[in-house]
Amino acid sequence: MNKLVRDLMHPGLLTCHPDATLGQVSFLLTRHHVHALVVADRDGHPLGIISDYDLLAGEWLSADTQSLATMRNLTAGELMSSPIDSIEASQPLGVAANLLIERDINRLMVTEKGVPVGIISISDFVSSLAREEKSLRQTVADVMSDAILVCRDKTPLTSVARTMTQAGWRSVLVVDAKGKPEGVVSGKDLLPSIENGVDEKLTVRDIMHPALTIDIHATLRAAADIMIQKHYHRLVVINQDDPQAFPLGIISSFDIVAEMARPGSIWQK
């Protein structure tokens, strides 16, 4: 029997009020280890979605005093995306995966006869893939992205935030002067600067997190396991036979969802 959205969704909604500040939103995102919140009115009716990426867009990470003051006055209601993309709980998982790919989004609100009952996100798909008992045979090499967004370890935070926004990427690989990977900077790493402002002396080295690697010949199951266990959305792909060489690419949770949406995958049968 084909699995349905209700079989994989995360029940309930993590919400914030429209008048929540960006500092409050960033605190809730970090506290609950999620990438987005549903903005809801006092009666609990969903109004929109605000994500960590919304907090970065527009170059709000500025050391300019006036820009920072403006940023701190913005609210979730002003930045949220609306209307919320949704799907009925009775729909097949393949339909949800295709919507995420086609609309280039990371989550859908799940409804039962029009009433919101939960969220299904890319992370839910990755988690389910990690639990899949069948061997999938496909490897990291089959679905990884060969392109890598890279910056030097001395890059200022404002510069990397601007580059991520312009390129539409959620993370950057940090390398030293010789091109050796030192870590990764993601949107979540930048969140504290939303509330506290940017110290002009800070560089990506000060906020980056360790880069997790995976062998290019590893299975998608292995990649999904690492993502779930470590709460990572992307892994740096290397050749374990030559670990000192420059990385071969990046595999993200979105790459895995794209594979699940492919005709002929176990999710489409």
What is the per-residue pLDDT across 135-145, written as a single tens digit (0 to 9) for each?
A: 445 788 888 88
Q: How many C-beta atoms lie closer than 10 Å to residue 259's C-beta?
A: 19
Residue pair 223/251 in contact (Cβ under 8 Å)? The answer is yes
Contacts of 28 (CB under 8 A, 6+ apart): 14, 16, 20, 37
- Going along the chain from its start, the domains and CATH numbers come out as 5-131 (3.10.580.10), 140-261 (3.10.580.10)
Give the tokens for residue 124.
């839910």
Average pLDDT for residues 29-50, to the nearest whole number? 91
Of residues 57, 35, 49, 100, the one with CA closest to residue 254: 100
pLDDT in tens, 53-99: 777 653 444 556 676 677 778 899 998 999 999 999 999 988 998 99
| Whole-number Å distance between alpha carbons of 116 and 110 | 6
**Cα-based distances in Å from 193 to 59, 63, 68, 77, 203:** 12, 10, 10, 20, 12
Residue found under tokens 């008992």: 133
pTM over 0.85: no
Output the pLDDT for position 216. Answer: 95
